[in-house]
Amino acid sequence: MNEQTDGSAEVATSGGKLASLRKDPKGWLVLVIAVGAVITFFGAAAGGGFGLWGWQAGLSILPFTGLAALIALIIAIVGIILDRRKGRKTRWPLLGLGTVITLGFLSFLASYAFTIATLPAIHDITTDLADPPQFSALPLRADNWDNIPGADDSDMQGMNPRQRWATLHQDAYPDIRSVRIDEPVADVIEKARRLAEDRGWEVASIDPAAGHLEATATISLFRFKDDVVIRARAADNGDASIIDMRSVSRVGIHDLGANAERVREFLSDLSGTTTASR
């Protein structure tokens, strides 16, 4: 009899919890908007990456996911305030989960917004601003020097796009420089090939004797293509090499620092972080 009573009590408790959840439209609304924003964000990116729609279309959707998350947060905050004012007990399970997802997603978006605000809108990064490594097998994008910021900046008056690019590049990434490796050119290029393949890059061209390698990296859910060229020049009668690298996004204006991070990490692995003196 006691067991039957306990079982009935458990069923009643569970039923009460489910009924409580059903009576929480505010919590459901916040949760649905939050989850929908996250799914839409990554779905838009993945759809662009797999060719279901253009990458520009995918990118154009992303700001609306942030707006949706903000709306969800506002609904949650207003709902909590109204509950307090009317002396109602806030139902937390759904509202709390939705709010946590919303805050996490907004923090994720804020990190990208911070990067956009603090780094220049450039997409071509190199260790040698005066004489960047040149592509031969992979074509440099035709609009590479278009849309370089600073045309209306008084500090850059009289500069052409390439000069503005070099100025912005130097200010944002002063640490990205040539590196010296105490190995012959051909050995360094072979090592670079192995590192590129380990990273999943598609090697387009390699000439160890000439100290030249080109490859393509595919990144993010959008599956953006970034082209890389590595140049090795002999030093100390051929016993050492001076390595330069260049990484260029095929599309877009702002690379969110991705090319700089790629150059840093690759050269660090390749060389042991020995900076070449100029």
In terms of domains, do 136 and 189 share one? yes
| Same domain as 62, residue 156 | no
On whether both 168 and 240 belong to a single domain, the answer is yes
Q: Which class for 221: exposed (0-12), middle (13-18), buried (19 or more C-beta within 10 A)? A: middle
Give the pLDDT confidence score for residue 179 in this predicted structure.
Answer: 97
Q: Domain of residue 100: give its range.
A: 2-118
- Close Cβ partners of 100 (under 8 Å, ≥ 6 residues apart): none
Q: Confidence class of residue 22 from pLDDT cuts 50, 70 and 90? A: low
pLDDT at 56: 86
pLDDT at position 48? 84
| 147 and 258 together in one domain | yes
Same domain? 155 vs 264:
yes
- Length of the chain equals 278
Q: How far apart are CA 132 and CA 246, in angstroms?
A: 7
Task: Note whether 129 and 265 are same-domain residues.
Answer: yes
List pLDDT tens digits, range 67-105: 999 999 999 999 888 888 877 776 778 888 999 999 999
Task: Count the Cβ atoms, other than its own, within 10 Å of residue 202.
Answer: 14
Q: What is the number of domains present in the chain?
A: 2
